[in-house]
Amino acid sequence: MRVTLFGASGLLGRELVQELNAEQLTALSSKDADLRDHARVQSVIQDSRPDCIILSAAYTDVDGCESNRDLAFAVNCDGAINVAEAAREAGSRLIFLSTDYVFDGTKRSPYEISDPRNPTSVYGESKARAEERLLEILPDVCIARTSWLFGHGGKCFPATILKLASTRPEISVVNDQRGSPTFTRDLANALAKLARANAKGIVHLTNSGNCTWYDFAAQIVQAAGLSTKVNPVTTAEFPRPARRPAYSVLSPDSLQAYNIHMPEWQDALRRYLASGAKK
- Residue boundaries of the structural domains of the chain: 2-155+181-210+248-265
The DSSP call for residue 41 is: H
How far apart are the C-alpha atoms of 24 and 231, rounded to whole Å? 48
Q: Are 185 and 241 in contact (CB under 8 A)?
A: no
Q: What is the pLDDT of residues 221-252, one digit of tens each?
A: 999 999 999 999 999 998 999 999 999 999 99
Instruction: Say whether pLDDT at 48 is over 90.
Output: yes
Q: Are 35 and 6 in contact (CB under 8 A)?
A: yes
- Per-residue pLDDT, 192: 98
Looking at every residue in the chain, the average pLDDT score rounds to 97
Neighbours of 250 (CB within 10 A): 26
* Percent of the chain residues past pLDDT 90, beyond the cut: 97
Instruction: Say whether pLDDT at 138 is over 60.
Output: yes
Question: What is the pLDDT confidence band of residue 276, given thresholds at 50, 70 and 90?
Answer: confident
- Per-residue pLDDT, 174: 97
Of the chain, the end-to-end C-alpha distance in Å amounts to: 30
How far apart are the C-alpha atoms of 120 and 106, rounded to whole Å? 11
Instruction: Say whether pLDDT at 96 is over 60.
Output: yes
| Interaxial angle between packed helices 122-137 and 79-90, expressed in degrees from 0 to 180 and rounded to the nearest 10 | 20
- Per-residue pLDDT, 170: 97
Instruction: Say whether pLDDT at 277 is over 60.
Output: no
- Per-residue pLDDT, 221: 97
Q: Are 263 and 252 in contact (CB under 8 A)?
A: no
- Span 22-36, average pLDDT: 96
> What amino acid positions are annotated as catalytic residues?
123
How far apart are the C-alpha atoms of 250 and 32, rounded to whole Å? 33
How far apart are the C-alpha atoms of 249 and 251, rounded to whole Å? 7
- Span 5-27, average pLDDT: 97
Q: CA dihedral defined by 126, 33, 4, 19, rounded to 10 degrees?
A: -80
Cα atoms found within 13 Å of the Cα of residue 51, Cβ hemisphere only: 13
- Per-residue pLDDT, 278: 46
DSSP string, 14-35: HHHHHHTTTSEEEEE-TTT--T
Question: Is the whole-model pTM more than 0.95?
Answer: yes
- Span 175-183, average pLDDT: 98
Instruction: Say whether pLDDT at 279 is over 90.
Output: no
How far apart are the C-alpha atoms of 21 and 259, rounded to whole Å? 23
| Domain spanning 2-155+181-210+248-265: CATH superfamily | NAD(P)-binding Rossmann-like Domain (3.40.50.720)
Instruction: Say whether pLDDT at 114 is over 60.
Output: yes
Helix (H, G, I), strand (E, B) or coil at 40: helix
